[in-house]
Amino acid sequence: MMANIIDGKAVSLGIKEKLKERVESVREEGERVPCLAVIIVGDNPASRSYVRGKLKAVEFTGMESRLLELPEDVSEEKLLQLIGCFNENSDVDGILVQLPLPRHINEDRVIDAILPRKDVDGFHPQNVANLWLGRKCFVPCTPQGIIKLIESTGENIEGKRAVVVGRSNIVGKPVAKLLLDRNATVTVAHSRTPDLKAVTREADILVAAVGRPGVITGDMIKPGAIVIDVGINRTDDGHLTGDVDFASASEVAGWITPVPGGVGPMTIAMLMENTYSAWCAISDR
Ligand code: GUN
C-alpha cells in the first residue's frame, strides 16, 4: 500500500488565499497593510532562494515588503543598527533576518536585537520563553507549519506517540513542544541516540529534522505512521531531497510529505500568518 501524500503546496496555498482576502479588505478600508522587512547578508544561494520565496508570498498576499541586501563583509555593528531602524519604523510589522549569518557576526546578538513583537520568526529569547511557558508568542514558522500538515490528515494528535529526530532551536525543540501541547507523547531523538530505528519504529507521528539526506528509511517507520520530512538537502545534481528516503518510506507510512512541496511551502505560509498577526497587534485588531 502506497502512503497518502500530504500536499504542503496545496495546504499553504489555501492559507495564503485566506490571508490575501483579509489583506485586500484592509486595503479597501484605506488602512496601512502588513509589511515584512527581510534582511539578507551575503550571497548564499540557498538563503537567496528562500528569501525569494518569502518575498513572492508577501506579494501574493498583497502585503508590503522591504528587502535589505547587505554585503558578506557588513559589520555586526552596522547590521544591529539597521535592525534598530526597522524596530523603530512604525510602517514595518515584521522583521526577518535570514540565517545563517557570516561567521564574523554573532547570531545571538542579532536575534536579541529584533523587537520581540516584530520577531515573526519566533527566534527571540522572549518568544522562545513564552512558547515553553505556554504563553502568547510568535511560534516559529516551520514547527507551526508541521502541526498544520499533521492536522490536515484529519488524524488526531492527542494520545499519539510522536518522535522528533533532531533537536535544533529552529525545528526540533519547538515542534516537540507544540506536539506536547496537543497531548502527544513526545520523544526527541538525535545523532547520539543509540538504536535510532527502535525509537522511530514506535512513532505514530515521525518528524525528521536531521539535515542529512535519506537517513530515515522505510524499515525505521511504523506501518501507517504520519511521516513529516523537514529536510531540504541539495544533491550533487542540484535536486532537492529530504531526510526521508521517500521510495522506501512511502511503502510503509500512512501519510508522508514530499520534498519539495511538503514542509517548505508551509514555513512560508506561516511566516505570512505571523506577519499578519504582528500587524494585527500593532493596529489594535
Ligand atoms: N534559515 C533556515 N530556516 C530559517 C528560518 O525559518 N528563518 C530564518 N530567518 N532563517 C532561516
Could you tell me the three cell numbers for 217?
Answer: 528509511
Q: Is the CB of 80 under 6 A from ligand 1?
A: no
Considering the domain delimited by 34-115, tell me its CATH architecture: 3-Layer(aba) Sandwich (3.40)
194 prior amide bond cis, ω within 30: no
Can you tell me which residue has the cell 501519510?
A: 255
pLDDT at 11: 98
- Domain definitions of the chain by residue range: 34-115, 141-264
* Catalytic annotation, pick one of 93, 119, 121, 229: 121
Residue 229 CB-half CA count within 13 A = 34
Ligand 1 centre from 271 Cα, in Å?
Answer: 10
DSSP 153-186: TT---TT-EEEEE---TTTHHHHHHHHHHTT-EE
Q: Would you write out the chain's pLDDT as a tens digit for each of its 285 residues?
A: 799 999 999 999 999 999 999 999 999 999 999 999 999 999 999 999 999 999 999 999 999 999 999 999 999 999 999 999 999 999 999 999 999 999 999 999 999 999 999 999 999 999 999 999 999 999 999 999 999 999 999 999 999 999 999 999 999 999 999 999 999 999 999 999 999 999 999 999 999 999 999 999 999 999 999 999 999 999 999 899 999 999 999 999 999 999 999 999 999 999 999 999 999 999 988
- 34-115 and 141-264: same fold? yes
Ligand 1 centre from 140 Cα, in Å?
Answer: 9
User: Which of 3.40.50.720, 3.30.500.10, 3.40.50.620, 3.30.1490.190 is the CATH number of 141-264?
Assistant: 3.40.50.720
Distance CA 273, CA 268 (A): 9
Q: Do 226 and 257 touch, CB atoms closer than 8 A?
A: no
pLDDT at 79: 98
Q: Which atom of ligand 1 is nearest to the CA of 142?
A: 6
Q: Do 93 and 35 touch, CB atoms closer than 8 A?
A: yes
Q: Which of 67, 86, 99, 111 to mutate to test the pocket of ligand 1 (most atoms within 8 A of CB)?
A: 99
Q: Residue 56 catalytic?
A: no
Q: Is the CB of 257 under 6 A from ligand 1?
A: no
Residue 222 CB-half CA count within 13 A = 17
Torsional sign, CA 269, 271, 275, 278 = positive
Ligand 1 centre from 174 Cα, in Å?
Answer: 14
Task: Please state the pTM of the whole predicted model.
Answer: 0.98
DSSP H stretches of helix in the chain: 8-28, 45-61, 76-88, 107-113, 125-133, 141-151, 172-181, 196-200, 246-249, 263-282
Q: Residue 236 catalytic?
A: no
Q: DSSP code of 244?
A: B
